[in-house]
């Protein structure tokens, strides 16, 4: 079943309000320092980071399977300077080769099986320019995400309307979490049903190696501190082609 969080236009319109500019975007933006680059954002969503790259003069391609998200992305201030592609990350194909390929917003975790992960890594490797870099992040499965997420609630204001958002964990175990998010508008309630995969660092490195890639670094936070299995919330992978 499609996740309404991405597929419903009304929920897509809320995305930037709930997941706006933050320290992870600063981190990804800094990766493009040092002159114009060709950049691919797989799972670009509403195009927030794509637009920021384009504003700095980079050649940007954003790919995402969600048409409502891409509709919002195209209306960003520099949206007409960006190539937008509607596709899943594992299906991306282009004649272009990229200096930087990113996957942000924990989009890696919506790849729910080994075949999807390997196909995505293969697409990344195929489209990486010589000397290029791949960067993506995923959450550390050692953290108790159920305790952090279950029952979370907050409100956003969109179009003059107050929308209440609540999240409930349905199941959590064996590296997967299922949760429901309710969006209470004044006249209706929409419910998105989501599933995420939490892989340990060793499994991801094994999949990278099988794809002809290697992790040059794994950071545990956006300040580039080394990943700590016990305490780091993030696993941020900086990846190159294997020699």
Picking from 13-27, 53-67, 74-88, 225-239, which range would have the lowest pLDDT averaged per residue?
13-27
Measured distance CA(138)–CA(38) in Å, rounded: 24
Angle, CA 97 vertex, CA 77 and CA 126 arms, to 5°: 125
pLDDT tens for 183-208 read 999 889 999 999 999 999 999 999 99
Q: How does residue 11 score in pLDDT terms, banded at 50, 70 and 90?
A: confident
**Mean pLDDT across the chain, nearest whole number?**
94
> What pLDDT, on the 0 to 100 scale, is given for residue 235?
98
pLDDT tens for 105-153 read 999 999 999 999 999 999 999 999 999 999 999 999 999 999 999 988 8
The backbone torsions φ and ψ at residue 143, rounded to the nearest 5 degrees and listed phi first, read: -80, 145
Residue 169, Ramachandran bin (φ over 0: left; ψ between -120 and 50: alpha; else beta): beta
Per the model's pLDDT, the better-predicted residue between 155 and 169 turns out to be 169
- CATH 3.40.50.150 for the 4-139+200-241 domain, yes or no: yes
3-class DSSP string for 114-183: HHHHHHHHHHHHHCEEEEEEEEEEEECCCCCHHHHHCCEEEEEEECCEEEEEEEEEEEEECCEEEEEEEE
> What pLDDT, on the 0 to 100 scale, is given for residue 3?
80
Query: First and final CA of the chain: distance in angstroms?
Result: 40
From the list 165, 177, 201, the residue with the least C-alpha distance to 18 is: 165
Q: pLDDT at residue 71 above 60?
A: yes
Quote the percentage of the chain above a pLDDT of 90. Answer: 82
Q: Which two tokens stand for residue 113?
A: 């099986």
Measured distance CA(232)–CA(226) in Å, rounded: 9
> What pLDDT, on the 0 to 100 scale, is given for residue 2?
60
Q: Which helix (H) or strand (E) holds 187?
A: none
DSSP 87: S
Cβ burial, residue 230 (10 Å; 0-12/13-18/19+)? exposed
> What pLDDT, on the 0 to 100 scale, is given for residue 189?
93
Q: pLDDT at residue 47 above 80?
A: yes
Please state the pTM of the whole predicted model. 0.94
> Is there a contact between 74 and 47 (Cβ–Cβ < 8 Å)?
yes
Q: Which helix (H) or strand (E) holds 86?
A: strand 83-86
What are the residue ranges spanned by the domains of the chain?
A: 4-139+200-241, 145-197
The backbone torsions φ and ψ at residue 81, rounded to the nearest 5 degrees and listed phi first, read: -100, 5
> What pLDDT, on the 0 to 100 scale, is given for residue 115?
97
> What pLDDT, on the 0 to 100 scale, is given for residue 151?
86
Q: pLDDT at residue 1 above 70?
A: no
> Is there a contact between 96 and 198 (Cβ–Cβ < 8 Å)?
no
- Beta strands 83-86 and 59-64, pairing class: parallel
Per the model's pLDDT, the better-predicted residue between 162 and 98 turns out to be 98
State mean pLDDT over 18-47.
92
């Amino acid at each position: 079943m499609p996740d309404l969080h991405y597929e419903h236009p009304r929920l897509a319109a809320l995305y930037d309000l709930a997941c706006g500019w933050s320290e992870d975007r600063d981190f990804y933006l800094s990766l493009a320092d040092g002159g114009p680059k060709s950049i691919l954002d797989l799972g670009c969503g509403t195009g927030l980071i794509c637009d920021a790259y384009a504003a700095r003069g980079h050649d940007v391609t954003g790919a995402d399977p969600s048409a409502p998200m891409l509709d919002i992305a195209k209306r960003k201030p520099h949206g007409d300077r960006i190539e937008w592609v509607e596709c899943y990350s594992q299906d991306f194909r282009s004649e272009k080769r990229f200096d930087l390929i990113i996957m942000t917003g924990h989009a890696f975790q919506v790849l729910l099986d080994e075949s999807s992960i390997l196909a995505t890594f293969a697409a990344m490797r195929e489209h990486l320019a010589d000397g290029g870099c791949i960067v993506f992040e995923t959450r550390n499965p050692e953290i108790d995400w159920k305790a952090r997420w279950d029952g979370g609630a907050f409100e956003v204001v969109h179009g003059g309307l107050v929308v209440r958002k609540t999240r409930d964990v349905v199941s959590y175990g064996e590296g997967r979490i299922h949760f429901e998010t309710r969006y209470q508008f004044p006249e209706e309630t929409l419910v998105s049903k989501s599933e995420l995969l939490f892989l340990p660092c060793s499994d991801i490195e094994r999949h990278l190696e099988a794809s002809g890639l290697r992790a040059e670094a794994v950071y545990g936070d956006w300040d580039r501190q080394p990943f700590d299995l016990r305490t780091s919330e993030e696993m941020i992978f900086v990846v190159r082609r294997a020699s």
